[in-house]
Structure 1
Amino acid sequence: MSNDNHITIYEHEILRIDRGEKRVSVNQLKALQEFYGESGVPYYSLIHNGVKFCEYVGVLQVGDTLIEILPKVDKNLTDSEASWRKVLIDMLHAVGLFNLQAPSSSNLKLNSNSILDLYFELFVKEVKYLLRQGLVKKYRKTEGNSTSLKGSLKFGKHISQNLVHQERFYIQHTVYDTTHELHAILYKVLKLLLRINTNQSIQGSLKSLELEFPEMPDLKITEATFNRLHLNRKTQGYHNAIEIARMLLLNYHPDVSKGSNHILALMFDMNLLWEQFVYVSLRKFKKGNTTITAQNTRNFWKTSKGSKSRMKPDIVLNIDKADCVVIDTKWKNIKNYNPSPEDLRQMFAYMKYYKAKKVALIYPGTDFSNSSGFYYDHDKYGAHEIGKEECSVISLPYNTDIRQWQKQIALDIYNWVEVNDESSVDC
Structure 2
Amino acid sequence: MGKKNLIQVFEYQKLKFDSKENDFTESHFNAMVKFNEKNDNKYYTIIHRGIKFNSYVGVIQINGLTIEILPKVDKDNSNSELQKQTWQNVLLNMLKVCKHINVDNISETALKKRYNSILEVYFEMYLNEIEELIQKGLIKKYRRVQENQLALKGKLVFTKNIQKNTIHKERFYCEHQVYDKDHLTHQILYKGLKILNSFLSSNLKDKLNRILFHFSDFKEVNINSSHFSKIIPNRKTQPYNKAIDIAKMIILNYSPNLNSGNDNMLTLLFDMNKLWEEYVYRILQKHKPKDYYVSPQNSTRFWESKRIKPDIIIKHNDETYIIDTKWKIVSSYKPSDDDLKQMFAYNLFWKAGKSMLLYPKINQEDSIFGSYHHIPNENEVNQCKLGFINIIDENGLRESKNIADEIFEKFMLVF
Q: State the TM-score, normalized to the length of structure 2.
A: 0.88
CA shift, 1:108, in A, is 8.6
| Partners of 2:328 and 2:28 in 1: CA distance | 29
Q: 2:89 & 2:114 partners in 1: Cα distance?
A: 9
Residues 335 and 365 in structure 1, CA contact (< 8 A), matched pair in contact too: no
Q: Answer whether contact 2:43 2:56 (CA < 8 A) is retained.
A: yes
Name the residue aligned to 1:340. Answer: 336
**AA in 1 matched with 2:412:** E
2:101 maps to amino acid:
F
Q: Higher mean Cα deviation, 254-263 or 398-407?
A: 398-407
Structure 1 residue 54: Cα displacement: 0.8
| 1:122 paired to 2:116 | no
Distance 1:32 1:220, change over 3 A: same
For residue 180 of structure 1, report the CA deviation from its aligned partner. Answer: 1.6
1:272 corresponds to which residue?
274
Task: Answer yes or no: is 1:92 the counterpart of 2:103.
Answer: no
Q: Structure 1 residues 365 and 57, CA, compared in 2 at 3 Å: closer, same or farther?
A: same
Question: Is it true that 1:361 corresponds to 2:357 in the alignment?
Answer: yes
Q: Does 1:317 align with 2:309?
A: no
Q: Which residue of 2 aligns with 1:392?
A: 385
Does the 8 A contact of 2:147 with 2:175 survive in 1? Answer: yes
Structure 1 residue 163, shift from structure 2 partner: 6.9
Counterpart amino acid of residue 328 in structure 2:
K
In structure 2, what residue type is equivalent to 1:118?
V
- Residue type of the partner of 2:256? P
Asked whether the equivalents of residues 34 and 258 of structure 2 are also in contact (C-alpha less than 8 Å), the reply is no
Structure 1 contact 374–388 (Cα < 8 Å) conserved: no
Q: Deviations over 1:151-200 (max 9, x none)?
A: 234456556656776765443221111122111111111111101223x2
Cα contact 2:63–2:198 (8 A) shared by 1:
no
Aligned pair count reads 405
Q: How does 1:135-154 map to 2 (within 5 A)?
A: 135-154=138-157
Q: Which runs of 5+ in 1 are unaligned?
A: 303-307, 381-386, 421-427
- Pick the aligned partner of 1:413 from 379, 383, 407: 407
Matches within 5 A, 1:16-415: 16-19=16-19, 24-37=24-37, 40-76=40-76, 79-102=82-105, 110-154=113-157, 168-198=171-201, 200-302=202-304, 308-318=305-315, 322-367=318-363, 369-378=365-374, 388-399=381-392, 404-415=398-409
Q: Deviations over 1:274-305 (max 9, x none)?
A: 11111111122112300010011111111xxx
8 A Cα contact 2:320 2:351, kept in partner: yes
- Residue 368 of structure 2 aligns to a residue whose secondary structure is strand
* Whole-angstrom CA distance in 1 between matches of 2:196 and 2:36: 23
After superposition, the C-alpha distances for 1:12-45 in whole angstroms (9 at most, x for unaligned) are 1111234585573222222222222276332210
- CA distance 1:326–1:238, shift in 2 (3 Å): same
* 8 Å CA contact retained: 2:103, 2:242: no
- 2: CA distance between counterparts of 1:35 and 1:102? 34
Conserved 8 A contact 1:138-1:177: yes
CA distance in 1, matches of 2:289, 2:158: 71
Change (3 A) 1:82 1:242: same
Q: Which amino acid aligns with 2:32?
A: L
CA separation of 1:33 and 1:167: change in aligned 2, threshold 3 A: closer
Go from structure 1 to structure 2 and tell me whether the alpha carbon gap of 1:259 and 1:236 turns closer, same or farther (over 3 Å shift). Answer: farther
1:415 Cα shift?
1.4
Instruction: Tell me the amino acid that sits aligned with residue 277 of structure 2.
Output: E
Distance 1:368 1:278, change over 3 A: farther
Q: Per the alignment, in what secondary structure is the counterpart of residue 146 of structure 2?
A: strand
Choose 121-130 or 40-49, whichever is displaced more: 40-49
For residues 32 and 154 of structure 1, the distance between their equivalents in structure 2, rounded to whole angstroms, comes to: 47
**Structure 2, unaligned runs of 5 or more:** none
Check 1:389–1:155 CA distance in 2 against 1; reply closer, same or farther (3 A cut).
Answer: closer
Distance 1:279 1:163, change over 3 A: closer
Q: Percent identity of the aligned residues?
A: 38
CA contact (8 A) 1:187 1:215 kept: no
Tell me the alpha carbon deviations over residues 322-371 of structure 1, each in whole angstroms, 9 at most, x when there is no partner: 31001011111224454432222211110000000110011111357321
Q: Is the 8 A contact 1:194 1:203 kept in 2?
A: yes
Contact 2:191–2:222 under 8 Å retained in 1? no
Q: Give deviations 1:91-129, integer Å, cap 9, x for gaps.
A: 1011111133259xx989843211111111111011111
CA contact (8 A) 1:362 1:394 kept: yes
TM-score (normalizing by structure 1): 0.86
Distance of aligned partners of 1:75 and 1:60 in 2 relative to their CA distance in 1, 3 Å threshold: farther
Q: CA RMSD in A?
A: 3.0
CA spacing shift, 1:375–1:224, aligned 2, 3 Å: farther
Checking the alignment, whether the CA contact within 8 Å between 1:108 and 1:122 is kept in structure 2 is no
Structure 1's 20 and 316: CA in aligned 2 closer, same or farther, altered over 3 A?
farther
Return the letter of the residue paired with 1:172: E
